[in-house]
Amino acid sequence: MSKPSDRDNAVRIDEIGERQADALMRLAAEHAFNQLDPEDPRNAKFFEWYAREARERQTPAERRATEDLAQLFAARMVKRWQKEALGVRDGGGAPRIHRASVAATAANALELARAQAQAPCLDMAVAAGAGRALWDEECTEWVEVPPDVPPGKHLALRVSGESMTPFLHDGDLILVKVGAELKSGSIVVARRPEDGYVVKRVGQLRRRSVELVSLNPEFEPIRLPRHPHLLLGTVVLRWCAHGSSA
């Protein structure tokens, strides 16, 4: 058996050094992965690099498993974002809707439903017709308000349109805390005098006006006078059945 040459030894030393450096790099990357906030845009480049490095080392089966985990991670981040940045909780399943115990308009049913830990439920598409007042709509259904929702007067509305995707979808149900409080970044329901009701995110707040923006970039922002009677209230909870984005 021949004795390893100096060149062979040098190659092996280089290989050992590369493996050690690679192992150290992985340890450092894993430490950074656990410490950095994935929601901070400044960390986006690191997480993109980390994902590429991880995929290159995986078998096809491992890649598929990683993609599944990535989808779960993305869904968890969306829920964290909706709660912390938008102030909106997830309903956690389908809403519990009952036939109204009394026949009344939304305005008259507000207190009656509140006494039973419920909220009048309306279809925004119907109530948003030009010239129609949401409060005058006949309310035939009430939805149960989860016990951990902060107290107040609430109204449930069925979303119409795609301007708030991927957060809200056509047909989703939202719970609105009735009141004229405006907070930048929150999701609100407001009335456009000529076009009915819209659900938007609060953008710039000015002394005389408020900017309302869509989450879907295909829709332009709108600006309304800053009048209390134009603001229905703030969205505090949503019931969404649209997969991982919910």
HSE-CB for 127 with a 13 A CA cutoff: 28
Eight-class DSSP state of 111: H
User: What is the residue range of 230's domain?
Assistant: 89-245
pLDDT exceeds cutoff 50 at 13: no
Q: Give the residue, 104 or 19, on which the prediction is more confident.
A: 104
Name the 3-class secondary structure at 122: strand
Q: In this structure, are 150 and 166 located in the same domain?
A: yes
Identify the CA nearest to 171 among candidates 81, 239, 96, 119. Answer: 239
Amino acid in position 68: D
Domain end position, chosen among 54, 84, 114: 84
pLDDT exceeds cutoff 60 at 25: no
Q: In this structure, are 198 and 94 located in the same domain?
A: yes
What confidence tens digit (pLDDT) does each residue in 174-192 have?
Answer: 999 999 888 899 999 998 8
CA–CA separation, 182 and 184 (whole Å) = 7
What confidence tens digit (pLDDT) does each residue in 62-89 have?
Answer: 667 766 666 665 556 555 655 666 788 8
**CATH number of the structural domain spanning residue 211:** 2.10.109.10
- Separation of CA 81 from chain center: 6
The pTM of the full predicted model, rounded to 2 decimals, is 0.67
Q: In this structure, are 94 and 212 located in the same domain?
A: yes
pLDDT exceeds cutoff 60 at 2: no
Res 14: pLDDT: 55
Identify the CA nearest to 232 among candidates 202, 206, 208, 203. Answer: 202
Per the structure, the count of domains in the chain is 2
Res 30: pLDDT: 63
Q: In this structure, are 191 and 96 located in the same domain?
A: yes
Domain membership flag for residue 1: no
